[in-house]
Amino acid sequence: MALTLEERITRLEDIEAIKSLITTYARGADRNNDPAILAPLYTEDAVWEAEGFGRHEGIEAIAREMAEVGRETILWSLHYMVSPEIRIADDGKSAECFWYLWELAKMPGEDGQPEDNVIGGWYETKLVKTDAGWKFRHVTLVLKLICPAHEPWETR
């Protein structure tokens, strides 16, 4: 069944809205997982999970645990969200999205002092369209690389 022009435009607007959601997610993450920025991006029953960082269910748990990561584990970061692939469901009410992650981060080293690291992997997400816009229902971060940088860099 062919989509109408209006349906096609709506899909393109939805894709742009999801790209904006990803950008806002990165911005919140780069502000030490600021719960004021990140919490509104999720549905009430959302799940966020990543090996080594756990599985967190519900907005409150996600915001609390991610803020703790921002205080204790990833002390500074710069997220590059690369090549998002967004698939809107036929009914236009849900979507799946994949994108690569390349991240520069300061994390405590073996001596407890901040150490420059590179992080790589990808995100696999499920989203729903709500009255307030697109929100994450399930976020899975698949980490493939976390390693110290060879040369430290200066952060601003």
Q: Digits of tens for pLDDT over the chain (156 positions)?
A: 788 999 999 999 999 999 999 999 999 999 999 999 999 999 999 999 999 999 999 999 999 999 999 999 999 999 999 999 999 999 999 999 999 999 999 999 989 999 999 999 999 999 999 999 999 999 999 999 999 987 766 777
Picking from 149, 66, 50, the residue whose alpha carbon sits closest to that of residue 109 is 149
Whole-number Å distance between alpha carbons of 84 and 102? 13
Scanning the structure block, which residue is given the tokens 């509104």? 40
Whole-number Å distance between alpha carbons of 70 and 66? 6
